[in-house]
Structure 1
């Protein structure tokens, strides 16, 4: 049976056909793994396949006959001459490698193989010509006189550098060699630079009347929620009766969510506000509280008194989510206690979530004039929303404030706000290097501020999330960037701490919100971009929002390109991204105008991705190096990269090596 199958495969190969038509027979033939003893009787059939059979057939045929002894020299020479004439450079070079082995094993046969070398010297591919020259020069002393003349004549059409190498070995005239030029054209148009990112726009003002507030009260996007909170507090102070009437439809709706022990979203809190307005003091006890009271009654004990603030426990919510909910909880508590201030401080002034320092000072002045203190979470959120730089005139004006909150705000502005926390991102798992697997861990280290809620936010570390059981830890994620709009790296650290979950469910707007924010951009933000610009197949919104974010950050000169390159290389090595997809994406971004940043990405990504000594570069590897060479010319960047220089210094003439040498030459120009 085995002999019959092998014979059937050979007969099908000899009949000819296209590669796809023969794929099944090639696979069957190779699965049978014919031994040299099985191939030898049919050696001439295998040799006949080398000149013209499709590549998928010729490659295994060559591999099998190279293992045979006792082949007829004339049959081998004829097959090799046809093989090196093929257009496929890889097959032609493989034929030359076999020729070199034959000459080394039987030097007396060198003259018989000269026609093969002469054919290879006339090949259309420079790499094949170069390989033929190297074989000829290495064995120059083994060719008879008539063969030397043939080789000398065949070298006449070679490029100058190869022709001169042949002349040095076999005699003949040398020709001037032109100065080396890279594959790319020096006059190639440089892509236009990225457009300047748009400036933040003023935030939409909160609604000024109860009807407008009622119409938008349950809108949950971050900007609308902030406007609703600000309007609710303002209108509650101005005309509580009118506000009660406008929100009465919300209060009358049966909502079992109010019986939950946790109120996790904007909509449920707004309903709770409406209920409190409609029936002050209505406890709306949670099901858990009712159960505890029932158990206490049955046991004859006294139930616990007091109502929880409905903010989830730390184990049940992310630090940023809890920080956001604390503002709702304190508004609800102040509403119930009759101590609600006339306004909120932290309502953003800009679309980025930032609060204009002048607006904060004006609001504090209004509170002082009313003899009221701000709500604690609202005040601390306001400080976190201040920009990184404050106009000295505004800071001086803040110095005139007399309340405790006013003096604290003035000191915050005077001292430059929150010092940048230290963010670290590492991967825990088995193995070393970019291929190792395991969980991602992020940590945030920040100096104490003396503000209890801010310190709690900064010391409560980013969560590790199980993608099945911990979905609740990602609530309100689209609002996280506006909590710390001047420290986007901290926000990114909390986002990537949810790695298995966030990739799937993180709102597409989050990368763009971080791009519009300010502050250092480091490993955490780079990782977030690396995850989103080449998303997994189940991401429905695609890479568009993340790519827009990347371009905005790059246009502002703040892209952590080296860190991004490291994370992208890791994703390739872990099998999450294909090299060709990475090359295509980076080329598109370079042509969009981010060529300088793309070069920085590539100089970091290439060293771990390039093949090691003795390994063969893939087409995608070569495309990455070619892109790096082009972006080096476009950007005019300078600076030696030792690992790339070491790769370029390897011996060989493969295109990837020539491109690497061009890249190194561009980067090290004076």
Structure 2
């Protein structure tokens, strides 16, 4: 036994089986206790010994498997995460060591390991060996199936390998039941390649190795179930290779109809093609075709909708007797959002109207009331006099209620609640309000009873890396680079970081930060380092900067009350905490609150009083110079000039006016004086606010960090400046198809401060983002700004036109965003944006001289619907020329529709908010 332990400690994994086999049952039991003690010892080793630990762990896995007598204990040992650390089992050694065990024991271990989702696929070679030795049935778990696919021979020999595989008849049916498709099945896009899985499975079916009916029925069932589009392509390819017979297709008519109605676009297209063949051949009943059409005609994919109308036309021409069943389904398309679809449906109904009875013609005429006004004249020719439309009354603009900030809940009152909040925040992260409440709670409870708080946190955070025997200088080094949220405060409470490191980190600040994002991170880090120092050496009763509102804003009256309580308790405000509180105070003149602050007589209260009456320190970075410079830093020259014009004509964010007559030298001198004041009055972490320009970089490492969600709360009253600094993230969503870069747009829409050029430009990029979730964030921000009266539709429309012309924003994406916003009832708001953008959009782009821009028809369609709803009567430059072009293109048709809507007489009143 001692030789076994020595071999394990030396990492000699190949010698372990020979050392285990001679041991008696008693020896193995005794050795197992020593092996468990060694396992516990390894957990406490420092990370620098990772190579030595890995060698010992491999030997330990083999030795422990040989010493365990119970199947459950052996499987738990073999699958233990701390022994494996993502590595494969040495399956050859283990199979040789365990080959003398009972078959039932081996089978039990195999099925237990196959049931471990985290390691089953990785352990397939070992599990399959156990199955072979024991003769037990193959496990049916997803991990085992994935491992079987991975272990199949290279693609050039796949068919021969599967022919000889004794498990193939059992495993092939299980391919269709996994939650996710095994990766190798989706590696290749060419289903006709003879060495790819679809071709190989088809060949096995032709040879009788697997049942053809099983492949057909299972593929159809999997397509019905749905899933990841990339996975479903495999089953479509397999059906194509199997080349279903007409009889096989007829057996699944109801399944094809369900796929065409609710499947993904590609699946629906395949099902529609099958049903089209059946319908033309007469195998699909007219009633089934009508039911299918009612669903397909209202799908968002226009290709499917048009193909369905073509199919209906073919069936009606071949069998005019089916018109009674099919025309009502066609007439439902009169309410489609696309007027082109409406026109096709109207033509189809008109062509076959004479074949139906008068009662059905009356029903079809009633359905024509759903048609767009542009088609009503033609509908009157087809059906005669149409039913009178109900008077809609004055148009009302439905916007969501202007969101009201939510008051933050107080910090957790009890120690148990606080510890629970800290644990959740450390493990899973959280939003800004949770972070602020938890940080304030740590400071409050440390002031009351630091020892009790430390004891409670030690138990709750026992698994954190900084509580092990990591060297103190390593902990200090890592926490000096990143606070990791409230972890640094918890670590300080438990004495796991030095006060010297906290002081140095705070003194270092972010004066030389490389970009705006690191500057914002630096403020949050500085607050955390300072809080970690306060709870350790200089407890304060609570934090001054904790917001009162969900936007991050702080009511000035609340800050005065907190300063008064500090004065009563003779507590000294912390510099970083107080500076952040100043930046969060709601702007504007507050003379009464300023007088109350001045009456306290403390230096901090005097600074607050000067701040509230706009006589405090000016911050150049938050003025129009900084915002405009950042917004235009990476933009075309004409946009930078526009930003400078706005700067010269509007007041700065700090309450100053730049007189037009002031020379550049005078401005620079004034800014230098301001920066000197900032260096005297603000901590180092805030001194970057003294710059007139803050760099924004589209390629830096700060995106997606754990502090990102708190950025808007650093400057909750300066949303336009923040928008300028965060602009690169949303630019990437439009230009480079990045994802999740528009999350901050709704937050800034709800924040304070002016909504200027930078925010509208960011909104324009967001409306043209590649991914739907980012466009939805931009639509939310658009509606919030409109509801608050902060949206400048003309400015946004001009920005959109510029971005479409220069390329980042695609019209089809913009049309989707505009349609989504309009569908909420904000037709007038959307029209105010499109009205400003359309004159430039109607002009052909430089890259496609003489032709309309791609997607222009979609934009015109949304614009026409908005005008038809809100009754606008504007004149759009260039619209009559586009509407008067020869041809029947979508652009021409929608331009004519929009022009007709603008020129029509309207009794509706001006839009009003509801």
- Work out whether 1:385 is the aligned partner of 2:385: no
Q: Is the 8 A contact 2:794 2:833 kept in 1?
A: yes
Partner-residue secondary structure (3-state), 2:632:
strand
Given the superposition, is the C-alpha separation of residues 462 and 284 from structure 1 closer, same or farther in structure 2, using an over 3 Å criterion? same
Pairs within 5 Å for 1:218-617: 218=423, 219=425, 220-221=429-430, 222-249=432-459, 250=461, 253-255=464-466, 258-260=475-477, 263=480, 268=484, 270-279=486-495, 282=498, 314-315=513-514, 318-336=518-536, 338-389=537-588, 392-415=591-614, 421-422=623-624, 423-424=627-628, 425-426=631-632, 428=634, 448=674, 450=678, 451-453=681-683, 454-457=686-689, 459=691, 461-467=693-699, 470-471=701-702, 476-498=707-729, 504=738, 506=740, 509-537=743-771, 541-612=773-844, 615-617=850-852
Pairs within 5 Å for 1:609-648: 609-612=841-844, 615-617=850-852, 620-625=855-860, 627-628=862-863, 631-632=866-867, 634-635=869-870, 644-645=876-877, 648=880
Given the superposition, is the C-alpha separation of residues 275 and 620 from structure 1 closer, same or farther in structure 2, using an over 3 Å criterion? closer
Q: Tell me how far 1:455 sits from its aligned partner.
A: 4.9
Residue of structure 2 in register with 1:73 after alignment: none
What TM-score results when the alignment is normalised by the length of structure 2?
0.44
Q: Is the 8 A contact 1:478 1:507 kept in 2?
A: no
Unpaired segments of 5 or more residues in structure 2? 1-342, 345-388, 640-646, 657-673, 886-891
Q: Is the 8 A contact 2:586 2:717 kept in 1?
A: yes
Given the superposition, is the C-alpha separation of residues 647 and 276 from structure 1 closer, same or farther in structure 2, using an over 3 Å criterion? closer
Partner-residue secondary structure (3-state), 2:877:
helix
Given the superposition, is the C-alpha separation of residues 329 and 471 from structure 1 closer, same or farther in structure 2, using an over 3 Å criterion? closer
CA distance in 2, matches of 1:248, 1:651: 73
Given the superposition, is the C-alpha separation of residues 542 and 494 from structure 1 closer, same or farther in structure 2, using an over 3 Å criterion? closer
CA distance in 1, matches of 2:905, 2:450: 69
CA distance in 2, matches of 1:241, 1:638: 72
Given the superposition, is the C-alpha separation of residues 228 and 585 from structure 1 closer, same or farther in structure 2, using an over 3 Å criterion? closer
Residue of structure 1 in register with 2:104 after alignment: none
CA distance in 2, matches of 1:445, 1:477: 23
CA distance in 2, matches of 1:509, 1:655: 37
Equivalent in 405, 410, 424 of residue 205 of structure 1: 410
Q: Is the 8 A contact 1:526 1:567 kept in 2?
A: yes
In angstroms, what is the RMSD of aligned CA positions? 4.3
CA distance in 2, matches of 1:584, 1:185: 29
CA distance in 1, matches of 2:789, 2:635: 34
Q: Which has the higher helix share?
A: 2
Given the superposition, is the C-alpha separation of residues 462 and 558 from structure 1 closer, same or farther in structure 2, using an over 3 Å criterion? same
Q: Is the 8 A contact 2:566 2:572 kept in 1?
A: yes
Q: Is the 8 A contact 1:263 1:310 kept in 2?
A: no
Given the superposition, is the C-alpha separation of residues 505 and 660 from structure 1 closer, same or farther in structure 2, using an over 3 Å criterion? closer
CA distance in 1, matches of 2:767, 2:723: 15
CA distance in 2, matches of 1:500, 1:582: 14
CA distance in 1, matches of 2:534, 2:408: 26
Q: Tell me how far 1:356 sits from its aligned partner.
A: 1.9
CA distance in 2, matches of 1:667, 1:311: 65
CA distance in 1, matches of 2:585, 2:905: 41
Q: Tell me how far 1:224 sits from its aligned partner.
A: 1.5
Partner-residue secondary structure (3-state), 1:399:
helix
Q: Tell me how far 1:549 sits from its aligned partner.
A: 2.3
CA distance in 2, matches of 1:648, 1:360: 59
Q: Tell me how far 1:185 sits from its aligned partner.
A: 12
Q: Which moved more, 1:371-380 or 1:626-635?
A: 626-635
CA distance in 2, matches of 1:307, 1:517: 30
Given the superposition, is the C-alpha separation of residues 396 and 559 from structure 1 closer, same or farther in structure 2, using an over 3 Å criterion? same
Q: Which moved more, 1:607-616 or 1:232-241?
A: 607-616
Give per-residue Cα distances to partners, 1:139-171, cap 9 Å, x unaligned.
xxxxxxxxxxxxxxxxxxxxxxxxxxxxxxxxx
Q: Is the 8 A contact 1:258 1:272 kept in 2?
A: no
Given the superposition, is the C-alpha separation of residues 251 and 284 from structure 1 closer, same or farther in structure 2, using an over 3 Å criterion? farther
Q: Tell me how far 1:368 sits from its aligned partner.
A: 0.9
Q: Is the 8 A contact 1:489 1:525 kept in 2?
A: yes
Residue correspondences, number: 455
Given the superposition, is the C-alpha separation of residues 619 and 369 from structure 1 closer, same or farther in structure 2, using an over 3 Å criterion? closer
Given the superposition, is the C-alpha separation of residues 364 and 506 from structure 1 closer, same or farther in structure 2, using an over 3 Å criterion? farther
